[in-house]
């Protein structure tokens, strides 16, 4: 099956039930990725703004708000918006991979980095243990605790922005987050556009398009099996040892390591290995690398050819 364009996924259904896109959310586009940090939208309600920067340990008056309440709303909001943007921009991505991408955008390390980029830490009202050497002769927050607090402040800021400015605040938050997140996954957005011919064109209605049957491109595993597979040959995909993390673009998520082995003619050979964010993808990449192993592939293909020729001669 050939890949479909983004527009062909409009009204895509799961289980026969259409899932329309929300009208005020549009997919990411490479041309809209900002080169600089997008401006921080202002919170119009001073009370909510103060609360967004106040740690619960700094609340001194009855009824005074901390950022915990706003963080609750902001957390839910960014989770929903990230899910919508990912779903619209990457319609061919499996739910598992979509979840991994969302995790890259919403994990504490990412949100804490955003807080530092905007200097939100300098506006925060934290207990002393979150600064420098901590309290005199007292406790000091760990790096993980400080990172969590900075991530919470970012979520609280989003919650305050949405709650203080009404519909306008919601739109401001969506536009800001969309631009900010696009810088974090810029490579993924560009790769998705390139896979769709470099642009997202509006597809013609089905009745206006000529019916063209595209030949299905063989997947790496299928191609490997076609080239060397026969009765004496067994191709295996096995988990490989390794605890490496993914590269910077994937925020150090754990990788799966898979090797492709060939058991044939009394010999076991490791053709290639590969790593990816899912076991299935790692296996496909390993097969793709095996196809590039020209020396080993040539030997195995020649042996297959000789075997098939011998079998054919026996039939006569």
Compute how many other C-beta atoms are within 10 angstroms of the C-beta atom of residue 13: 9
Q: What distance in Å separates the CA atoms of residue 144 and residue 132, rounded to the nearest whole number? A: 15
Residue 273 domain flag: yes
- The predicted-structure confidence for 254-270, as pLDDT tens digits, reads as follows 678 899 999 998 899 99
| Region class of 94: left (phi > 0), else alpha (psi between -120 and 50), else beta | beta
Query: Is pLDDT at 252 greater than 60 in this prediction?
Result: no
Which of 162, 179, 195 terminates a domain? The answer is 195
Per-residue confidence (pLDDT) for residue 251, from 0 to 100: 43
Query: Is pLDDT at 52 greater than 70 in this prediction?
Result: yes
Helix axes of 67-89 and 166-184: crossing angle, nearest 10 degrees: 60
Is the pTM for the entire model greater than 0.85?
no
DSSP-derived secondary structure for 204-225: PPGGGS----PPPPPPHHHHHH
Per-residue confidence (pLDDT) for residue 136, from 0 to 100: 59
- Whether 62 and 122 share a structural domain: yes
- Whether 188 and 56 share a structural domain: yes
Looking at the 3D structure of the chain, how many domains does it have?
Answer: 2
Phi, psi (deg, nearest 5) at residue 211: -75, 110
CATH of the domain at 260: 3.30.160.20
Query: Is pLDDT at 244 greater than 60 in this prediction?
Result: no
- Whether 160 and 242 share a structural domain: no
Residue 57 domain flag: yes
- Whether 38 and 159 share a structural domain: yes
- Whether 95 and 163 share a structural domain: yes
- Whether 13 and 142 share a structural domain: yes
């Amino acid at each position: 099956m050939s890949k479909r364009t983004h527009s062909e996924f409009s009204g895509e259904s799961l289980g026969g039930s259409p899932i329309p896109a929300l009208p005020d959310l549009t997919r990411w586009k490479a041309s809209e990725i900002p080169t600089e940090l997008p401006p921080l939208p202002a919170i119009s309600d001073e009370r909510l703004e103060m609360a967004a920067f106040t740690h619960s340990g700094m609340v001194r008056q009855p009824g005074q708000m901390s950022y915990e309440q706003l963080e609750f709303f902001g957390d839910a909001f960014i989770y929903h918006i990230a899910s919508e943007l990912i779903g619209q921009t990457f319609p061919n991505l499996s739910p598992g991979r979509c979840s991994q991408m969302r995790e890259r955008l919403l994990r504490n390390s990412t949100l804490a980095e955003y807080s530092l980029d905007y200097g939100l830490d300098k506006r925060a009202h934290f207990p002393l243990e979150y600064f420098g050497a901590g309290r005199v002769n007292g406790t000091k927050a760990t790096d993980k605790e400080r990172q969590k607090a900075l991530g919470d402040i970012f979520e609280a800021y989003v919650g305050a922005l949405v709650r203080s400015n009404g519909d306008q605040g919601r739109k401001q938050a969506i536009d800001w987050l969309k631009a900010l997140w696009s810088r974090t996954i810029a490579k993924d957005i560009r790769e998705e556009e390139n896979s769709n011919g470099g642009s997202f064109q509006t597809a013609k209605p089905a009745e206006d398009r000529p019916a063209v049957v595209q030949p299905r491109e063989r997947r790496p595993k299928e191609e490997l099996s076609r080239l060397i597979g026969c009765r004496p040959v067994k191709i295996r995909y096995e988990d490989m040892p390794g605890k490496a993390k993914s590269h910077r673009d994937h925020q150090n998520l754990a990788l799966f390591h898979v090797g492709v082995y060939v058991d044939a003619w009394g010999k076991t050979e490791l053709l290639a290995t590969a790593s990816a964010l899912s076991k299935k993808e790692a296996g496909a990449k390993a097969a793709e690398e095996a196809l590039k192993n020209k020396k080993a592939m040539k030997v195995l293909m020649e042996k297959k050819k000789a075997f098939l020729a011998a079998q054919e001669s026996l039939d006569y």
